[in-house]
Amino acid sequence: EAGVVQSPRYKIIEKKQPVAFWCNPISGHNTLYWYLQNLGQGPELLIRYENEEAVDDSQLPKDRFSAERLKGVDSTLKIQPAELGDSAVYLCASSQLAGVGDEQFFGPGTRLTVL
């Protein structure tokens, strides 16, 4: 069975440009997470979806970040405009149910570099 798929793996853009990341979760997983990970730090939750609904987006900087999960499957995370401080790895994960105790399956991440 395929794991969580993310694309692109790497992205280099200039500041003020828009960028989008795509995630395809494991089939049948209702919960999808987007995390941001800075070098030397653990993943930080940006948003969590249960099916199509964003149930926790309190950490998402809504002035420049947006996310969607149409039809409750694939998801896209967008940044517009990107800033230098957005350089990080963006991880997508999915799980069958929601909860810290539910096993999350992570994708390889997208490494974003903003110049």
Partner 1 sequence: LAKTTQPVSMDSYEGQEVNITCSHNNIATNDYITWYQQFPSQGPRFIIQGYKTKVTNEVASLFIPADRKSSTLSLPRVSLSDTAVYYCLVGPHRGGATNKLIFGTGTLLAVQP
Q: Does 98 bind partner 1 (CB under 8 A)?
A: yes
Binding pattern to partner 1, positions 67-96, x when CB under 8 A? ------------------------x-x---
Give all strands (DSSP E) within 44-96, no chain letters: 44-50, 53-56, 65-68, 75-79, 88-95
Radius of gyration of the chain (CA): 13
- Asked if residue 45 binds partner 1 (CB under 8 A), the reply is yes
- Please report whether residue 107 would count as binding partner 1 according to CB under 8 A: yes
Site residue total, partner 1 (CB under 8 A) = 28
Label residue 78 exposed, middle or buried (CB < 10 Å: 0-12, 13-18, 19+). middle
Residues lying near partner 1 in the complex (CB under 8 A)? 4, 33, 40-45, 48, 55-56, 58-59, 91, 93, 97-109
